[in-house]
A and B are shown apart, each in its own frame.
Chain A
């Protein structure tokens, strides 16, 4: 992935989030406060609006900027979680012009570690980590298989439906949280779906 593809990834993500804004907020009414769609749209709109100004930045700086914009504009708990993930990608890719297999592997490992630290959560808690973690786990030194990544993200998202939520406001529901997809896991799936689409188009 180069800088231009990263920008395209953000645009595709923002499009998907706009398209699914109501669905995300509706999911969040079950396990949160019903504003995940609105929050994510606001965050990624802020990212997309700045992409032209950021086009000459290094990939590492671009990731840092995306992270800061999300932290400052999402407004809900997803802000610091997504923000930290992108900032960690930025830290991991300091010396990288183009993200290849090993860089994806190390960057995503750092991002997952960042989300876990920030949210004091682990995989299985019914959060966005249940999408990020399996995606990171299938990366190795080879160029990522984007179809596999999209599938892993989708499976991770679907599995949150049967989990008892242990973090965030959903945790107050205990067993009652079972039967609902985690909104952060769903928005993360759209993020990785957008990534897969961007990278497939780039190669085609």
Chain B
């Protein structure tokens, strides 16, 4: 993928949950960089700054990153990584992993959407009753 895109990073306490969510979102647009970070080493439940950091390093430095999280420590760990990589364009999205992530993937796939726009669309754009 060329740089200057918005990549989607999904953080969950469970590896298979993050992977499953990634699979679902990737189907919405295979061109968008969708990354999954789930669980701890050894398949245990939890989230880890190290693992999140490793994925951030994998993503093209020119790309912005929009992070989705599930519960508890996932958001705090996402914020820690965001602070560690101040020079990078990283935002944390306060929308549900699946519904919000789906809207974000579609919006990011339009190619011209900024990080702020993708985040806004995801936070405002989904509705359980839609």
Query: Are A169 and B45 in touch, CB under 8 angstroms?
Result: no
A75 touches which one: B40, B79, B80 (CB < 8 A)? B40
Stretch at the interface among A79-87, A124-132, A147-155: A79-87
User: Interface residues of A toward B: which range?
Assistant: 20 to 34
Contact A80–B46 (Cβ < 8 Å): no
Contact A75–B46 (Cβ < 8 Å): yes
Contact status B45-A79, CB under 8 Å: no
With a cutoff of 8 Å between Cβ atoms, the chain A residues found around residue B47 in the complex are: 75, 79
Assess whether A72 is in contact with B50, with CB atoms less than 8 Å apart: yes
Interface size on B, residues (CB 8 A): 15
A168 & B45 in contact (Cβ 8 Å cutoff): no
Inter-chain contacts of B72 with A (CB < 8 A):
33, 76-77, 168-169
Q: Chain A residues near B45 (CB, 8 Å)? A: 35, 75
Interface contact B49-A80, CB-CB below 8 Å: yes
Contact A80 B80 (CB under 8 A): yes
Indicate whether B105 reaches chain A with its CB closer than 8 angstroms: no
**A193 on the B face (CB < 8 A):** no
Tell me if B71 is interfacial: C-beta within 8 Å of chain A. Answer: yes
Residues of chain B within 8 A (CB-CB) of A39 are: 46
- Chain A interfacial positions (CB closer than 8 Å to B): 33, 35, 39, 68, 71-81, 83-84, 118-119, 168-169
The 9 closest A-B pairs by CB, nearest first: A75-B46, A80-B76, A77-B73, A77-B72, A72-B50, A71-B49, A75-B40, A72-B48, A76-B73
